[in-house]
Structure 1
Amino acid sequence: MSSEEFVKNFYLEKQNILHSSFDNQAEHRSATSIKIKELELNEIQTEKLKKIVSDLLTDTFYTILLGLDGSASIGTTQESFKIYDEEHNLISEGGDLEGYAYDYFHGE
């Protein structure tokens, strides 16, 4: 897996979480989607909430990726991490994720 694929998978996970949070048709709904449905929001309110949740997820995933990359702190510590896959292939050695993260999360 490349650095770009690693970031892309984080982006896809963000999109999956967002979708499942507002999916009322799934057989196995998420706890979040059940709670949102219980709010009984109208369509405009639901779209506003969806935008807020999307922005929150974007900020969260983007910050985690930058934290792993050494470009932002995680908690009170800022350092870069080397990321390897299960076969010990290097995915990122620090400084490789920031550009891709920006493209995927803010280049929409």
Structure 2
Amino acid sequence: MNTEELVKAFYTEKQNFLKEYLSKNPDTEVGQLIKSLNLNDEQNAIMEKVMNNTLTDVFYSILLGLDGCASIGGIQEMYELKDENGNQLSGEIEGYAYEYFHESNK
């Protein structure tokens, strides 16, 4: 795995959460709670934006925190991330995270 693949995996997880939470037959508690609101189409569109932006903020913040570009719990430091083969995964996370979470829908 390389750094871009790590970021892409986080982005894929975000997209999977969003899809599950907003599905018509959700398996998660969050999805069930959203469904229980019985939102109309306009409200569903707003909920989708709220959830998308929330998940983007959370995943993006975690990635930047791991890269040392933002704090995690008020502590800002760079972490050394490696895959199981010893390949370095930190140091370039910020650029890929911005690309995946803010520039495009890959």
1:76 Cα deviation from its structure 2 partner: 1.2
Whole-angstrom distance in 1 between the partners of 2:29 and 2:23: 11
Q: Does 1:6 align with 2:24?
A: no
Runs of 5+ in structure 2 lacking a partner? Answer: none
Between the two proteins, what is the percent identity of the paired residues?
48
Kindly report structure 1 stretches of 4+ aligned residues shifted beyond 6 Å: none
Match of 1:106 in 2: 102
Match of 1:73 in 2: 71
TM-score by length of 1: 0.91
1:3 Cα deviation from its structure 2 partner: 0.4
Whole-angstrom distance in 1 between the partners of 2:102 and 2:3: 17
Match of 1:18 in 2: 18
Whole-angstrom distance in 1 between the partners of 2:89 and 2:50: 31
Q: Report which of the two has the higher share of strand.
A: 1
1:87 Cα deviation from its structure 2 partner: 2.9
Q: Secondary structure at the match of 2:89?
A: strand
Q: Does 1:83 align with 2:102?
A: no
Instruction: Provide the aligned length of Structure 1 versus Structure 2.
Output: 104
> Match for 1:64 among 62, 77, 95?
62
Whole-angstrom distance in 2 between the partners of 1:78 and 1:25: 40
> Match for 1:96 among 84, 92, 98?
92
Whole-angstrom distance in 2 between the partners of 1:106 and 1:77: 24
Q: Is the 8 A contact 2:7 2:63 kept in 1?
A: yes
1:32 Cα deviation from its structure 2 partner: 1.2
Greater Cα offset, 46-55 or 17-26: 17-26
Whole-angstrom distance in 1 between the partners of 2:87 and 2:69: 22
Whole-angstrom distance in 2 between the partners of 1:98 and 1:59: 13
1:91 Cα deviation from its structure 2 partner: 2.0
